[in-house]
């Protein structure tokens, strides 16, 4: 099925170039030229992915991102930033962006990044009957890695793609201590070398969502001076 991409970019030449190249790569593309229009379109078209410029008229990219997450949409968002933007990546991630690209970028780079993000966050095709779906279950917490779903005591939880990816990675390495650098390179791959605050921000979001008391976490433990560990809680 054709994936729908919403590009929110006020520089007409960049918007047109992105649209052209993404369409060449087989995506359906809609354009918005200011933040408010971008937000309205995102809410109505529910795109599979958004490319969102940071500096936009009417409503800036950070606010658009924040609003989208407040509407409980987990569409992956790649922020487009200019090299000289005073732009705090950590704040952007806190607001729910998933990835960044710094202008100028080549069309090829954009397509590669879009593909990678879509691959990471798309639900996998329906499994054949022989292969059972993978489910992680810890007490009331259930994580369905292939379906991009998490529930706690049967209640579905909303996760951003990065939060989800981090949680799954922690679970796949449960009972092992993972350093912030390990998590950074496993979940964020590139772009954020050295800035481990991103990890802390996401861990704190995860705790708010899955822990009964995020100050006394049962699942995600802080290992002082080292990093984090996902622990399988002892049966009560
Ligand atoms: Ca701009």
Q: Does some domain include residue 128?
A: no
Structure tokens at 16: 């047109």
Whether the per-residue pLDDT at 22 is higher than 90: the answer is yes
Q: Is the pTM of this model over 0.85?
A: no
Q: Does some domain include residue 88?
A: yes
Cβ partners under 8 Å of residue 137, min gap 6: 143
DSSP letter (8 states) at residue 227: E
Whether the per-residue pLDDT at 124 is higher than 90: the answer is no
How many domains does the chain contain in total? 2
DSSP letters along 159-198, please? --HHHHHHHHHHHHTTTS-EEHHHHIIIII-SS-TT-THH
For 2-16, write each residue's pLDDT tens digit.
999 999 999 999 999
Can you give the CATH number for the domain in which 218 is found? Answer: 1.10.10.10
Q: Does some domain include residue 161?
A: yes
Asked if residue 104 and residue 41 are part of one domain, the reply reads: yes
Q: Does some domain include residue 156?
A: yes
The reported pLDDT for the residue numbered 27 is: 96
Give the residue numbers spanning the domain of 187.
Answer: 136-230
The reported pLDDT for the residue numbered 97 is: 83
Domain stop point among 95, 121, 147: 121
Ligand 1 centre distance from Cα of residue 235 (Å): 52
Asked if residue 200 and residue 167 are part of one domain, the reply reads: yes
Whether the per-residue pLDDT at 85 is higher than 70: the answer is no
Whether the per-residue pLDDT at 121 is higher than 80: the answer is no
Ligand 1 centre distance from Cα of residue 28 (Å): 22
Asked if residue 95 and residue 23 are part of one domain, the reply reads: yes
- Please state whether beta strands 28-32 and 4-8 pair in parallel, antiparallel, or not at all (unpaired): parallel
Residues near ligand 1 ion, CB 5 Å cutoff? 10, 53, 55
Ligand 1 centre distance from Cα of residue 80 (Å): 8
Asked if residue 60 and residue 113 are part of one domain, the reply reads: yes
For 132-170, write each residue's pLDDT tens digit.
678 899 888 999 988 889 999 889 998 888 899 999 999
Can you give the CATH number for the domain in which 44 is found? Answer: 3.40.50.2300
DSSP letters along 23-41, please? HHTT-EEEEESSHHHHHHH
Evaluated on CA atoms 8, 13, 16, 19, the torsion sign reads negative
Ligand 1 centre distance from Cα of residue 45 (Å): 22
For 167-185, write each residue's pLDDT tens digit.
999 999 999 999 998 898 8
Average pLDDT over residues 100-119: 87
User: Which single residue is written with the structure tokens 């369905």?
Assistant: 144
For 215-229, write each residue's pLDDT tens digit.
999 999 999 988 999
Ligand 1 centre distance from Cα of residue 54 (Å): 6
Within 13 Å, how many C-alpha atoms sit on residue 169's CB side? 24
User: Which single residue is written with the structure tokens 């009560």?
Assistant: 236
């Amino acid at each position: 099925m054709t994936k729908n991409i919403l590009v929110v970019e006020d520089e007409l030449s960049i918007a047109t170039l992105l649209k052209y190249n993404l369409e060449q790569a087989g995506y359906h593309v809609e354009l918005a030229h200011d933040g408010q229009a971008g937000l309205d379109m995102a809410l109505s078209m529910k795109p599979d992915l958004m490319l969102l410029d940071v500096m936009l008229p009417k409503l800036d990219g950070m606010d658009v991102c924040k609003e989208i997450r407040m509407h409980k949409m987990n569409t992956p968002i790649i922020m487009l930033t200019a090299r000289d933007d005073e732009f705090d990546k950590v704040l952007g991630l806190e607001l729910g962006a998933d990835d960044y690209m710094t202008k100028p970028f080549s069309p090829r780079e954009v397509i590669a990044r879009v593909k990678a993000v879509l691959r990471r966050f798309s639900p996998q095709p329906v499994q054949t009957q022989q292969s059972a779906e993978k489910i992680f279950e810890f007490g009331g917490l259930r994580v369905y890695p292939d379906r991009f779903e998490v529930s706690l005591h049967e209640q579905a939880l909303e996760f951003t793609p990065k939060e989800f990816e981090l949680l799954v990675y922690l679970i796949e390495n449960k009972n092992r201590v993972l350093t912030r650098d390990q998590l950074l390179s496993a979940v964020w791959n590139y772009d954020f070398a050295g800035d481990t605050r991103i990890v802390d921000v996401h861990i704190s979001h995860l705790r708010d969502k899955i822990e009964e008391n995020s100050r006394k976490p049962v699942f995600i433990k802080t290992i002082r001076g080292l990093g984090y560990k996902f622990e399988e809680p002892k049966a009560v």
